[in-house]
Amino acid sequence: MNVSEIDEFIGALLILIGGIISVISATGIIRFPDVYTRAHAATKSTTLGVLLSLVGAFIYIWLTENYISVRLMLGIVFVFITAPVSGHLIIRAAYRSKVNMTEDTVEDELKKVLDNQTEVH
């Protein structure tokens, strides 16, 4: 194997791992019982899957074509910043809208914090 083949293999491997993680994330979105766990699956693992795919594409293009793609770098930064924040805001909106948690939920730690805030004001 020469250097070019190793570069292609590394890029393809990262893209493949990202695709596998994205499929696992989609399975979690379907199987989890409530909006909180589904949003967790949608943001955490999907972010990792998309980031691995974008990094794999970036490395592949960089090492094989000798071209640094600014669009891919911006995509990586954009996904890294926006996906976790949007997931947090969706879960927060669902909680404040009183969306019920699953019966298997053991403890609601946020309820105590919000109750203390309303007592202070």
More confident residue, 13 or 36: 13
Residues in contact with 113: Cβ distance below 8 Å, sequence separation at least 6, in sequence order: none
**Does the pLDDT value for residue 106 go beyond 90?**
no
**Does the pLDDT value for residue 121 go beyond 60?**
no
Q: Which tens digit of pLDDT belongs to each residue from 28-84?
A: 889 988 888 888 888 888 899 999 999 999 999 998 888 898 999 999 999 989 988
**The model's pTM:** 0.79
Question: What whole-number distance in Å separates Cα of residue 109 and Cα of residue 115?
Answer: 10
Question: What whole-number distance in Å separates Cα of residue 121 and Cα of residue 119?
Answer: 6
- Amino acid identity, position 8: E
Both structure tokens of 3: 């250097």
Residues in contact with 64: Cβ distance below 8 Å, sequence separation at least 6, in sequence order: 4, 7, 8, 11
More confident residue, 106 or 31: 31
